[in-house]
Amino acid sequence: MFTYGNRLLKKVKGLRSKRDGITEQDKAKVIYLKKFEGMEHIKIVLDNYIVYYNRKKIKVQLKRMSPV
């Protein structure tokens, strides 16, 4: 029996494109498939994802280096 999360993850795996498919998969895993315990928990997870995306994620436009 499939749960909603499994169906969503299966759809997300189909989103692979050369530019941002992996980013969309990461976002889905971090945000959509997680159970949150309240607004504070949501804020912490989103802040961590934004820091990762803006500072640590390797960017193709920057010759596979992080911005920082």
- Tens-digit pLDDT profile for residues 3-20: 666 666 565 555 545 455
Tokens of 56: 């640590």
Model confidence, pTM: 0.48
pLDDT value, residue 1:
45
pLDDT value, residue 39:
86
Tokens of 5: 């999360």
pLDDT value, residue 36:
79
Partners of 65 in beta bridges: 59
Closest to 43 in 3D by CA, of 51, 64, 17? 51
The angle formed by the CA atoms of residues 40, 43 and 46, to the nearest 5 degrees, is 150
pLDDT for 44 beyond 80: yes
Domain ranges across the chain: 4-56
Residue 17 CA to residue 56 CA, distance in Å, equals 21
pLDDT for 57 beyond 80: no
- Is 31 within 8 Å of 53 (Cβ atoms)? no
